[in-house]
Structure 1
Amino acid sequence: MQAPPPTPPTPRPKRLPPPPPVRGRRAVPLGLIAVLLVFVGLFTVGVGVGAATGFDLREIFRGPDKPPPRDFPVLEPSRPKRLRIPAIEVAAPILTVGLADDGSVAVPPLNRHNEAGWFGAGPTPGQYGPALIVGHADTRTGPSVFYRLRELKPGQRIEVLREDDETAVFQVNSVERYRKEKLPVQRVYGDYSRPSLRLVTCGGTWLGGDRGYADNVIVFASLIGTRKR
């Protein structure tokens, strides 16, 4: 009996050539896309206080009508010029900021991300009430002015040089983190028990897109003294 002819080998499927690239565009790795999205979010999201809680910061910063008690130093109004926090190696100019389009506190422009921003509708540092200074945590080029803010500890010093050449010296009371939608508004902005300072930046979980970080990192500090430059 004659043997059957051998079975021919199964042909391998031909590998199709890759599609030609679209002119004018380059492929971007997925990891790099994710990084770019994070940094775009850092640029488009501000400190994020105000809009989520539905209050008018200008109104709450008016403070009480009665004069402050004199149990502690109280300075006359004078615009802040420079911020110094020795414990985290911050020495930065201060510019004046207002409200962003969404009603939140604006932050310094990105080309000045290593400067701090004083909210000009509130008290000046050393004046009766809570002075508010905000700043970026980071940008695509690296850390910004308030990158290490969360490292501050109670008892450490913060100094603000003012235009009248008086330096307001504050002591850190606490460093706290809050979800932006659960910000204790009255405690942060409505405390007119004495001259105080609030330093604010972003922190917590990155939510992506135009939502930015989930939290605000807030330093609470009280005025403990002054000195001439």
Structure 2
Amino acid sequence: MDRGSLPVHSGSGRPASSESRTPAAPTHIRIPAISLDQPLISLRVQQDGRLGVPGEPGDVGWWSDGPRPGGPGATIVVGHVDSATGPGAFHGLSTLDPGDEVTMVQEDRSTIAFTVRALRQYGKDAFPDSEVYTTGGPPALHLITCSGTYDRSRREYRDNLVVYATLDDASLSG
């Protein structure tokens, strides 16, 4: 990730509403296919309307004002692909395949599982905010990191990678 933020569709900085109880906040993420097992930090939308990113390359953060795992809309999780000192927490994200599992551990110690459905790379100037930052519809998980060519003059990657995952049916039973 770079420059300290990601775009967020305007007006989407509010928590998603839910007809039933609000799901517990996530505290941990596990992605066995890339040997990732990390606590999550909270990320907020900044004054410029962009979602903040983790301050350290090894950290993984979630959009704490956005949808929670298992509730309507997409839970957004962000990590760095690398840094000047080496690989970031989401270094292996591009190697995920459809069918790979991602598990979120929540504050109430429950777990919720998602299945990777697709990986998409978008130019930063063509990032589909309204498709990625969804606050309604079925529960989903969107993992975001940088990708593509590194632009040395701008000190950032030109693209973002979004991993789209859907809630496992078994997770609905709790």
Equivalent positions of 1:31-46 (< 5 A) are 45-46=3-4
CA drift at 1:98:
0.7
CA deviations over 1:14-34 (Å, ceiling 9, x no partner): xxxxxxxxxxxxxxxxxxxxx
Aligned residue number for residue 226 of structure 1: 171
What is the Cα-based RMSD across aligned positions, in Å? 2.6
**Partner of residue 39, structure 2:** 93
Partner in structure 2 of residue 212 of structure 1: 156
The answer to whether the 8 Å contact 2:6/2:53 transfers is no
Equivalent residue number for residue 12 of structure 2: 57
Instruction: State the 1:124 CA deviation.
Output: 1.1
SS of the counterpart of 2:131? Answer: helix
Q: What TM-score do the two structures reach when normalised by structure 2?
A: 0.87
CA apart distance, 1:146 = 0.3
How many residues are treated as equivalent by the alignment?
173
Per-residue deviation at 1:226? 2.7
How far apart in 2 are the matches of 1:148 and 1:190? 24
Distance (whole Å) between structure 1 residues aligned to residue 148 and residue 133 of structure 2: 21
Paired-residue identity, %:
32
Residue 106 of structure 2 corresponds to 162
Gaps of 5+ in 1: 1-41, 69-74
CA offset digits 1:62-113 (Å, max 9, x no partner): 46x8x49xxxxxx842111111000111111101011245322111112xx2
CA distance 1:220–1:117, change in 2 (3 Å): same
Query: Could you say what secondary structure the match of 1:187 adopts?
Result: helix
**Which range moves more in the overlay, 149-158 or 218-227?**
218-227
Q: How far, CA to CA, are the matches of 2:116 and 2:5 in structure 1? A: 20
- Picking from 84, 100, 119, the partner of 2:30 is 84
Report the structure, 1 or 2, having the larger strand content.
Answer: 2
Q: Is the 8 A contact 1:204 1:214 kept in 2?
A: yes
- The answer to whether the 8 Å contact 1:170/1:197 transfers is yes
5+ residue gaps, structure 2, are none
Alignment-derived partner of residue 145 in structure 1: 89
Relative to its length, the structure with more helix (as a share) is 1
Rg larger in 1 or in 2?
1
* TM-score (normalised: structure 1): 0.68
8 Å contact from structure 1 (residues 166, 226) kept in 2: no
Deviation track 1:175-196 (CA, whole Å, cap 9, x = no partner) reads 1100112122222122632110
